[in-house]
Amino acid sequence: MKDDSLRLFFALRCPPRLAEAITTWRDDLHLPGRPVATANLHLTLVFLGQQPLTQLPTLLSLAASVQVPVFDLHLDHLGRFNNGLLYLAPSRPPEALQGLAQGLRDALQEAGIRLDDRPFRAHLSLLRRCPRLPDDATPSFDWPVSHFGLFASEQSAHGSHYRQLQHWPLRPNEAP
Ligand code: ATP
Ligand code: MG
Protein backbone atom coordinates (compact mmCIF):
# COMPACT_ATOMS: atom_id res chain seq x y z
CA MET A 1 0.00 0.00 0.00
CA LYS A 2 1.22 3.48 -0.83
CA ASP A 3 2.01 5.42 2.34
CA ASP A 4 0.96 8.80 0.96
CA SER A 5 -2.59 7.71 0.25
CA LEU A 6 -5.42 5.72 1.80
CA ARG A 7 -8.29 3.66 0.42
CA LEU A 8 -11.25 5.56 1.89
CA PHE A 9 -15.00 5.27 2.23
CA PHE A 10 -17.78 6.85 4.28
CA ALA A 11 -19.91 4.27 6.05
CA LEU A 12 -22.12 3.29 8.95
CA ARG A 13 -20.36 0.81 11.17
CA CYS A 14 -22.71 -1.81 12.56
CA PRO A 15 -22.84 -1.58 16.39
CA PRO A 16 -21.03 -4.58 17.96
CA ARG A 17 -24.03 -6.29 19.59
CA LEU A 18 -26.12 -6.00 16.46
CA ALA A 19 -23.20 -7.21 14.32
CA GLU A 20 -22.89 -10.23 16.60
CA ALA A 21 -26.61 -11.01 16.29
CA ILE A 22 -26.47 -10.66 12.50
CA THR A 23 -23.44 -12.89 11.98
CA THR A 24 -24.86 -15.52 14.37
CA TRP A 25 -28.07 -15.50 12.30
CA ARG A 26 -26.03 -15.68 9.07
CA ASP A 27 -23.95 -18.61 10.35
CA ASP A 28 -27.16 -20.48 11.25
CA LEU A 29 -28.14 -20.36 7.55
CA HIS A 30 -25.18 -22.73 6.89
CA LEU A 31 -24.53 -21.35 3.41
CA PRO A 32 -21.19 -21.87 1.65
CA GLY A 33 -19.01 -18.83 1.05
CA ARG A 34 -16.48 -16.52 2.66
CA PRO A 35 -18.04 -14.86 5.72
CA VAL A 36 -17.47 -11.18 6.46
CA ALA A 37 -15.93 -10.79 9.94
CA THR A 38 -18.31 -9.52 12.62
CA ALA A 39 -16.09 -6.49 13.29
CA ASN A 40 -16.25 -5.58 9.58
CA LEU A 41 -20.02 -5.33 9.24
CA HIS A 42 -20.84 -1.93 7.76
CA LEU A 43 -22.98 -0.10 5.25
CA THR A 44 -21.01 1.95 2.73
CA LEU A 45 -22.44 5.42 2.03
CA VAL A 46 -19.84 6.63 -0.49
CA PHE A 47 -16.74 4.85 -1.76
CA LEU A 48 -13.83 7.21 -2.43
CA GLY A 49 -11.07 4.79 -3.37
CA GLN A 50 -7.41 5.70 -3.08
CA GLN A 51 -7.06 9.34 -1.91
CA PRO A 52 -3.93 11.34 -1.11
CA LEU A 53 -3.41 12.11 2.59
CA THR A 54 -3.41 15.80 1.68
CA GLN A 55 -7.12 15.42 0.89
CA LEU A 56 -8.00 14.45 4.49
CA PRO A 57 -8.62 17.94 5.93
CA THR A 58 -11.09 18.67 3.10
CA LEU A 59 -12.86 15.35 3.67
CA LEU A 60 -13.12 15.91 7.42
CA SER A 61 -14.51 19.39 7.07
CA LEU A 62 -17.04 18.57 4.36
CA ALA A 63 -18.34 15.58 6.34
CA ALA A 64 -18.89 17.86 9.34
CA SER A 65 -21.11 20.09 7.20
CA VAL A 66 -23.57 17.30 6.31
CA GLN A 67 -26.67 17.66 8.50
CA VAL A 68 -29.05 14.70 8.63
CA PRO A 69 -31.37 13.58 11.48
CA VAL A 70 -30.88 10.26 13.29
CA PHE A 71 -32.91 7.42 11.79
CA ASP A 72 -33.80 3.76 12.26
CA LEU A 73 -32.72 1.19 9.75
CA HIS A 74 -34.91 -1.90 9.55
CA LEU A 75 -32.94 -4.67 7.87
CA ASP A 76 -35.58 -7.06 6.57
CA HIS A 77 -34.32 -8.12 3.14
CA LEU A 78 -31.75 -10.79 2.35
CA GLY A 79 -30.40 -10.54 -1.19
CA ARG A 80 -27.58 -11.79 -3.37
CA PHE A 81 -25.78 -9.88 -6.11
CA ASN A 82 -24.68 -11.64 -9.30
CA ASN A 83 -21.09 -11.65 -8.05
CA GLY A 84 -22.16 -13.99 -5.22
CA LEU A 85 -22.30 -11.39 -2.46
CA LEU A 86 -25.00 -12.15 0.10
CA TYR A 87 -26.27 -9.02 1.81
CA LEU A 88 -28.84 -7.58 4.18
CA ALA A 89 -30.77 -4.46 3.24
CA PRO A 90 -33.75 -2.40 4.26
CA SER A 91 -36.68 -3.16 1.93
CA ARG A 92 -37.77 0.46 2.47
CA PRO A 93 -34.65 2.60 2.91
CA PRO A 94 -35.43 5.61 5.11
CA GLU A 95 -35.27 9.02 3.46
CA ALA A 96 -32.56 10.13 5.89
CA LEU A 97 -30.25 7.33 4.72
CA GLN A 98 -30.60 8.43 1.12
CA GLY A 99 -30.18 12.04 2.28
CA LEU A 100 -26.97 11.21 4.11
CA ALA A 101 -25.41 9.37 1.14
CA GLN A 102 -26.54 12.07 -1.30
CA GLY A 103 -25.46 14.89 1.02
CA LEU A 104 -21.97 13.42 1.18
CA ARG A 105 -21.84 12.91 -2.60
CA ASP A 106 -22.95 16.49 -3.23
CA ALA A 107 -20.36 17.90 -0.81
CA LEU A 108 -17.61 15.73 -2.33
CA GLN A 109 -18.49 16.77 -5.85
CA GLU A 110 -18.58 20.41 -4.81
CA ALA A 111 -15.05 19.96 -3.44
CA GLY A 112 -13.98 18.63 -6.83
CA ILE A 113 -13.58 15.01 -5.72
CA ARG A 114 -14.44 12.64 -8.52
CA LEU A 115 -16.85 9.79 -7.77
CA ASP A 116 -18.30 7.06 -9.92
CA ASP A 117 -21.94 7.61 -10.85
CA ARG A 118 -23.30 4.25 -9.81
CA PRO A 119 -26.56 4.76 -7.89
CA PHE A 120 -26.42 4.27 -4.11
CA ARG A 121 -27.62 0.80 -3.16
CA ALA A 122 -27.75 0.36 0.62
CA HIS A 123 -26.50 -3.05 1.68
CA LEU A 124 -24.60 -4.80 4.45
CA SER A 125 -22.29 -7.48 3.07
CA LEU A 126 -22.55 -10.83 4.90
CA LEU A 127 -20.99 -13.56 2.79
CA ARG A 128 -18.85 -13.51 -0.36
CA ARG A 129 -18.86 -16.14 -3.10
CA CYS A 130 -22.19 -17.45 -1.91
CA PRO A 131 -23.74 -19.67 -4.60
CA ARG A 132 -27.44 -19.20 -3.76
CA LEU A 133 -30.03 -17.63 -1.52
CA PRO A 134 -31.54 -19.81 1.23
CA ASP A 135 -35.04 -21.20 0.59
CA ASP A 136 -36.61 -19.16 3.31
CA ALA A 137 -35.08 -16.47 5.44
CA THR A 138 -36.96 -13.68 7.16
CA PRO A 139 -34.40 -11.34 8.68
CA SER A 140 -35.57 -8.58 10.99
CA PHE A 141 -32.87 -6.43 12.57
CA ASP A 142 -33.27 -2.89 13.87
CA TRP A 143 -30.38 -0.49 13.77
CA PRO A 144 -30.76 2.94 15.35
CA VAL A 145 -28.29 5.02 13.35
CA SER A 146 -26.81 7.94 15.25
CA HIS A 147 -23.52 8.65 13.51
CA PHE A 148 -21.46 7.97 10.39
CA GLY A 149 -17.71 7.63 9.88
CA LEU A 150 -14.82 7.92 7.48
CA PHE A 151 -12.89 4.67 7.16
CA ALA A 152 -9.58 3.55 5.69
CA SER A 153 -9.66 0.07 4.21
CA GLU A 154 -6.42 -1.74 5.04
CA GLN A 155 -5.15 -5.19 4.22
CA SER A 156 -3.72 -7.44 6.91
CA ALA A 157 -2.78 -11.10 7.12
CA HIS A 158 -6.36 -11.70 8.32
CA GLY A 159 -8.00 -9.89 5.39
CA SER A 160 -9.52 -6.43 5.12
CA HIS A 161 -9.64 -4.21 8.18
CA TYR A 162 -11.55 -0.91 8.27
CA ARG A 163 -9.94 1.75 10.43
CA GLN A 164 -12.28 4.53 11.50
CA LEU A 165 -10.49 7.85 11.06
CA GLN A 166 -13.25 10.09 12.33
CA HIS A 167 -16.97 9.94 13.06
CA TRP A 168 -19.76 12.52 13.12
CA PRO A 169 -23.07 12.48 15.01
CA LEU A 170 -26.38 12.79 13.18
CA ARG A 171 -28.76 15.51 14.32
CA PRO A 172 -30.79 14.34 17.35
CA ASN A 173 -34.59 14.28 16.96
CA GLU A 174 -36.22 17.25 18.59
CA ALA A 175 -38.40 16.50 21.61
CA PRO A 176 -42.12 16.56 20.67
P1 ATP B 1 -12.15 -6.99 -0.02
O2 ATP B 1 -12.08 -6.09 -1.23
O3 ATP B 1 -10.86 -7.17 0.68
O4 ATP B 1 -12.87 -8.26 -0.26
P5 ATP B 1 -13.98 -5.01 0.85
O6 ATP B 1 -14.58 -5.03 -0.51
O7 ATP B 1 -14.94 -4.96 2.00
O8 ATP B 1 -13.04 -6.22 1.08
P9 ATP B 1 -12.80 -2.58 0.00
O10 ATP B 1 -12.70 -3.10 -1.40
O11 ATP B 1 -11.72 -1.74 0.52
O12 ATP B 1 -13.00 -3.77 1.02
O13 ATP B 1 -14.16 -1.78 0.08
C14 ATP B 1 -14.58 -1.04 1.21
C15 ATP B 1 -16.06 -0.75 1.06
O16 ATP B 1 -16.28 0.00 -0.13
C17 ATP B 1 -16.92 -2.00 0.90
O18 ATP B 1 -18.20 -1.76 1.47
C19 ATP B 1 -17.07 -2.16 -0.59
O20 ATP B 1 -18.28 -2.80 -0.94
C21 ATP B 1 -17.10 -0.72 -1.05
N22 ATP B 1 -16.53 -0.59 -2.40
C23 ATP B 1 -15.35 -1.08 -2.82
N24 ATP B 1 -15.12 -0.76 -4.11
C25 ATP B 1 -16.19 -0.03 -4.52
C26 ATP B 1 -16.55 0.60 -5.74
N27 ATP B 1 -15.78 0.56 -6.82
N28 ATP B 1 -17.74 1.25 -5.77
C29 ATP B 1 -18.54 1.31 -4.69
N30 ATP B 1 -18.25 0.74 -3.51
C31 ATP B 1 -17.09 0.07 -3.41
MG1 MG C 1 -13.52 -4.85 -2.38
* Average pLDDT in the chain: 96
The DSSP secondary-structure symbol of 40 reads G
Does any ligand 1 atom lie closer than 6 A to the CB of residue 9?
Answer: yes
pLDDT recorded at residue 3: 82
Query: Which residues belong to the active site?
Result: 42, 123
pLDDT in tens, 144-156: 999 999 999 999 8
Contact 143, 90 (CB under 8 A): no
Contact 150, 10 (CB under 8 A): yes
The model's pTM: 0.95
Q: For residue 124, give the ligand nearest its CA.
A: 1
pLDDT in tens, 38-75: 999 999 999 999 999 999 999 999 999 999 999 999 99
Does any ligand 1 atom lie closer than 6 A to the CB of residue 141?
Answer: no
The DSSP secondary-structure symbol of 30 reads -
- How far is residue 59's CA from residue 116's CA, in Å, rounded to a whole number? 17
For atom 20 of ligand 1, the residue with the nearest CA is 44
Q: Count other Cβ atoms within 10 Å, centred on residue 115.
A: 13
Nearest 10 degrees: Cα torsion 27, 31, 35, 40: -60
Task: Tally the residues of the chain.
Answer: 176
- Could you identify the atom of ligand 1 that is nearest to the CA of residue 43? 18
Does any ligand 1 atom lie closer than 6 A to the CB of residue 151?
Answer: no
